[in-house]
Amino acid sequence: MNTTANNIRNYAVITGSYWAFTLTDGAIRMLVVLYFHQLGYTPLAIASLFLFYEFFGIITNLVGGWLGARFGLNTTMHVGMLLQVFALLMLTVPTEYLTIVYVMAAQALSGIAKDLNKMSAKASVKLFVPTATDNKGSNRLFKWIAILTGSKNTLKGVGFFLGGLLLSAYGFKGALYVLAAGLFAVLLLTWFLLPDDLGKTKTKAKFTQVFANDPAINWLSAARFFLFGSRDVWFVVGLPVYLTSTLNWDFAQVGSFFALWIIGYGLLQAAAPRLLKNKKQGHSPDGKTTQHLAVLLLFLPAGMAFALYQEFDPASVIIIGLSLFAVVFALNSAVHSYLIVEWSDHDKVAMNVGFYYMANAGGRLVGTVLSGLIYQQYSLIGCLITSSLLIAAAALLSTKLPRNRDGLALER
């Protein structure tokens, strides 16, 4: 089998395993939010269940990039899948044992698993695409990254729907068994399909190298922190609780709504190379692109908050507002995911991607905490206003990003 065929096969295997993991990640998130809301947990208590999920994601991304460079990205990916199976089975204990601390511990394992898997998948793509020395190479890398990221988020949306469906059909415990069995089967299959040395550096990676010393990587990671904090501040707890408690939606409706939103979001990410294609200049996105998208994005949650305050029909505000938010956020996120890989050297891609997703997990952690806290005090309007402020910070930080490949070379 030639090198190109090998690269395509490995890319397909990585993508397929990432899809399977993502289904369980979306499903378990929806299962936990809906089930514990049903048990009478407050929004802040539900948010606390995900604190370790996000906190250990920060640590995992920091260490995971180094582990991937040292032991191989396939190893970190499979360890992540195995941990997710164990985290799912942890939640199958009798209800009386599902204390906040116990569920937080299970979610910690799930957070570690998710970020090991995501870092491994994203960094692997760099290894399958020839070095991008021109616009054609950059556009090819953008396309491959967008397809991986977009399809993952589409499957995460399916996972939200799957979580609500399995909860209704099999109950909390039965749903967890189904998810664990399916993921373990995929783990066994991919174990034999990927090369053992995928992602290993030629020289032993030093742990001190996990901290990015490239200004472009640092500024991009900082912008990512605020961008994802702006989404999760209303998305994690505030929105699902608002839909069930204020709009009186049932579990199936909430699960279906989140599923459709994430699916549409993922499709938009996958289509980002076409939607953002610059026919006049022909180059791929750069720092200026993400700055402009962030500025546009900040007006959307602010507009939703104003509309809710003016007592417009809340269902219409949510559906229309979130549809527009999905478009701009998806494009911005896709550009971020491309830039971190494009700006990383082959030998440092695992560690740079790990550092970048450490910032991503940090933003999600802050957003998760604020989602429960602010919603409990100021309802969804407060969450949306906070979202706009965080997006403004991301836009400001994006002004520091290189504007093109020449600008990146000067940064270095």
Q: How far apart are the first and last CA of the chain?
A: 37
* Structure confidence at residue 86 (pLDDT): 94
DSSP-assigned letter for residue 385: H
Instruction: Tell me if 76 sits within 8 A of 67, measured CB to CB.
Output: yes
Q: Which residue has the higher pLDDT, 255 or 97?
A: 97
Quick: pLDDT tens for 394-403. Answer: 999 999 988 7
CATH of the domain at 233: 1.20.1250.20
Burial 389-398 (b: 16+ CB within 10 A, else e): ebbbbbbebb
Using one digit for the tens of pLDDT, what is the confidence trace for 40-72? 887 777 777 877 887 887 788 777 766 766 777
pLDDT at 1: 45
Does any domain span residue 167? yes
Backbone angles phi, psi at 337, to 5 degrees: -65, -35
Domain count, the chain: 1
- In the prediction, which pLDDT does 95 show? 82
Which DSSP string corresponds to 164-222?
A: HHHHHHHHHHHHHHHHHHHHHHHHHHHHTTS-TTTT--SSPPPGGGGS---HHHHHHHH
Within-domain flag for 306: yes
CB 330 within 8 A of CB 263: no
Q: Is-contact 80 117, C-beta < 8 A? A: yes
Confidence at residue 224, expressed as pLDDT on a 0 to 100 scale = 93
What's the confidence (pLDDT) of residue 287? Answer: 85
pLDDT at res. 210: 52
- CB 52 within 8 Å of CB 107: yes
- Contact by Cβ (8 Å): 158, 255: no
202 inside domain: no
| Residue 203 within a domain | no
Q: How does the average pLDDT of the chain come out, rounded?
A: 81
pLDDT at residue 26, rounded to an integer: 84
Q: Which residue has the higher pLDDT, 21 or 119?
A: 21
pLDDT of residue 129: 63
pLDDT of residue 131: 52
Q: What is the pLDDT of residue 127?
A: 67
Containing domain of residue 89, as a range? 3-197+208-411
Poorest-confidence range of 198-207, 224-233, 236-245, 371-380?
198-207
- Least confident piece of the model among 163-172, 189-198, 248-257, 284-293: 189-198
Report the percentage of the chain scoring pLDDT > 90: 22
Structure tokens, 11: 């890319």
